[in-house]
Structures are given as structure tokens and as C-alpha cells.
Amino acid sequence: MIKLSHFIWAFCASFLLCSISASADGFDVIKKNKCESCHDFTGTLGVNKSGLWRKGPALYYAGSKYQDGWVEEWLQNPERIRPAGAFYLDHVQTGRKYNVIRKETLKDHIKLNAKDAKDVAILLADLTAKNSLIKAEHYDPTMKAGPLGEMMFNKIYGCLACHSIEPNYGGLSGPELYTAGQRLKPEYMLSIIRDPQAWNHKTWMPTRKINEEDMQKLVNYIISLSDNNTSTKPHALESTARNYRVYCMQCHGIAGSGSGVNSRDMAVPPRNHTDGKYLEARTDDELFQVIKYGGLSINKSALMPPWGGTMTDTEIRNMVKHVRKLCDCKYTGPKTK
């Protein structure tokens, strides 16, 4: 029944996993599907095959990395995690404005049936080669970044450059992080942010000094992205034009020129969205902020309300583009006055 193939012996030698019983079926599935042609299960393949020019992410520390249950589920329904593949240079080419992903070079991942997925998951859960790194971390779920999360992730620590925080928004050379809360152990996230090389010493994720409190906040921010992702916001992704009609025209007016039905008695008039001269001195980030957090957040009138509870970040980003259309302008630098 248990086939002690060469492959199994390699496993046994490196991990003393020879109490095989439960994992034996998992070995068979891995062997049958040639999983080891793309993944390092033993930590012995060396930098080129396992780290840099790899065909798939290393799995020899899978038991230290993934949340319980995630592997089993993903193998039955493997949705892409790395937008540009396991190593981006294998999958990009020059484009008109910037380098683009060669979609046709990205293959769909092999899909397993429920039993095979379970058997493999049991086996992978035993591969805990880097558990000492996990044990060294202390995750604190109470240290939240709150509304500053995206600012830390984007502006302060530059993480957005390589990681997406929602589908189609953010960098593409690293794994997307809006599902990381379901996929990864918080301790693993802390550890790889602290010292990416400890997990893959040729990784193209840079090492940055971050204080302990901010590390916890970054991880809690990443986890909160998954919460957004699963909560079905009732008004997610309405069309931008409709959002503008429903939410903005009451003050900014049907034509967007600031003369909405509410504007008559307002102490501060709603901004004229067709005024290119004014709006070209505002950056897209400033517009995003005022729409999400309201006038007060940028020292303007509280009469401009915060819309963060009404629209998703994606909808707000689209709204910024909509305002840019109304003013027929883009940011050209600070006002000279």
C-alpha cells in the first residue's frame, strides 16, 4: 500500500516524516501530478530552482506559512495569487506605457479533487521547516492601524508598489494581499515583513526597518483587507455616474458646477467640479481623501461629508476619475499664489 519510492525516501530523510500513515496518500498525489517539478518540498533544491527562477513558490515550510484549511480549499479551486506568476521576469514584456504581463504565459494551476486536496493538505501541514521563525513572533490583534492603514501601506512603507490591495489596484510583482488574511498565518506575515530573506534569501521583496508597533499595524491592515473582501457590501461597485447622481448632485449640482438643490443656504458653497483651474492644483490623493474622509480631513468645510461608509475605495477612486472628467483637468502642480 505505502510505496516507498525514491521521492518518499527523500522526504523521510529530510523531515523524519516516516510515520507516514496519514501522509502516504498525499505523497502519491504529489508524485502522480509531478508537483515537485515546480515546487520545492524539501528545502534542498537550491536558490535557482526554489528561490529565484522558480516555477512555483517553495512549499517545504507550508506548515509554518498557511492558515489551517486554506491549502485544502485552494487546491480544489486554485485562483491566481501572484498576478505576474511565480517569478515576474518570466511573464512580463515591454508595453506602450509600461511593462505589461504576458497573460498567455500564465497557466492555470492544476486542480485537485476533494480527497486528493485533503491528502496533500495533511502532508503539507507537517512541513514545518521554519517553525522557529513563527515561534519568535507575537501577533497582537488589538494593534490596529484604523483609517491610517492604507497610508502606512502605501505612503510610509511603500508596500503598495509591489502588492495589490484589491483586484487590479497596486503592484504586480508580489503576491496580492487582499486575500492574505485568509491564506497566511499572522506570525508568518510578521516574520516575512521583518526579514524576507529568512524565508527566501534571493527574494525580490526588500528588507525595510519597521518598528514593532507599525509591523503589527501593517499585518492587521492586511488582515482587514480580507474582511472587506468577504463582507458583501450591499452597495459594492455601483456605476460611478450613478453614484455621482445619487450622492453628489444634491450639493454639487446636476452639471457639477456647485449649484445643487442644497446649495442655497450653505455657508461654504460646494466646490465647482468643472473648475479646472482650481482642481488642477489638487492631487488625486487629495481628492480621494476629501471624498473618503470629508472636508474636515483636509481643513475644509464639514459641509462636504465623508463618503467612506457609503462607497468602497474602488468606487471612490473611480469617483476621483469622474471628477477629473468633469473638470477636464489633471494635477499640474501646487497653486502659485
What is the contact surface with ligand HEC in residues (CB under 6 A)?
A: 29-30, 33-35, 37-39, 55-57, 71, 74-75, 80-82, 85-86, 109-110, 112, 120, 157-159, 161-163, 173-175, 180, 184, 189, 192-193, 200, 203-206, 208, 218, 222, 247-248, 250-252, 262, 266, 268, 270-271, 282, 286-287, 290-291, 295, 300-301, 303-305, 307, 319, 323
Quote the CA–CA distance of 39 and 55 in Å, as a whole number: 7
Nearest-approach distance from CB 119 to ligand HEC, in angstroms: 10
Instruction: Give the Cα separation of 129 and 132 in Å (integer).
Output: 8
**Nearest approach, Cβ of 239 to ligand HEC (angstroms)?**
13
Q: Which lies closer to ligand HEC via its Cβ, residue 36 or residue 100?
A: 36
Contact 117, 33 (CB under 8 A): no
Cα 169 from Cα 167, distance rounded (Å): 6
Q: Which is nearer to ligand HEC, 18 or 266 (CB)?
A: 266
Question: On the CB side of 263, how many CA atoms lie within 13 Å of its CA?
Answer: 17
Q: How far is the CB of 276 from ligand HEC (least distance, A)?
A: 13
C-alpha cell at 82: 501572484
Question: In whole angstroms, how close is the CB of 185 to ligand HEC at the nearest point?
Answer: 10
* Cα–Cα distance measured from residue 198 to residue 130, given in angstroms and rounded to the nearest whole number: 9
β-pairing, 169-170 vs 100-101, is unpaired
Rounded CA-CA distance 49/312 in Å is: 40
How buried is residue 214: exposed, middle or buried, by Cβ count under 10 Å (0-12/13-18/19+)? middle
- How near is the Cβ of 28 to ligand HEC at its closest, in Å? 10
Count CB-CB contacts under 10 A for residue 109.
Answer: 15
Q: How far is CA 176 from CA 82, 113, 166, 310, in A?
A: 6, 25, 8, 25
Query: Min. distance of Cβ 310 from ligand HEC in angstroms?
Result: 7
Kindly state the cell numbers that stand for 91: 511573464
In the bound complex, what is the minimum distance in angstroms from residue 94's beta carbon to ligand HEC? 19
Rounded Cα distance between 223 and 54, Å, is: 27
CB of 97 to ligand HEC, least distance (A): 20
Q: Smaller CB distance to ligand HEC: residue 44 or 197? A: 197
Closer Cβ to ligand HEC, 96 or 150, answer by number? 150
User: Which of 67, 45, 69, 68 has the alpha carbon at shortest distance from 57?
Assistant: 45
Which CB atom, from 96 or from 104, has the smaller least distance to ligand HEC? 104
CA–CA distance from 263 to each of 131, 252, 260, 295, 323 (Å)? Answer: 61, 8, 5, 15, 18
DSSP string, 213-242: HHHHHHHHHHHHHHHHHHS--TTTT--HHH
Q: Which is nearer to ligand HEC, 32 or 96 (CB)?
A: 32
Measured from the CB of residue 216, what is the shortest distance to ligand HEC in angstroms?
Answer: 11
Of 18 and 278, nearer to ligand HEC (C-beta) is 278
Q: Which is nearer to ligand HEC, 96 or 116 (CB)?
A: 116
Q: Would you say 95 or 285 has its CB closer to ligand HEC?
A: 285
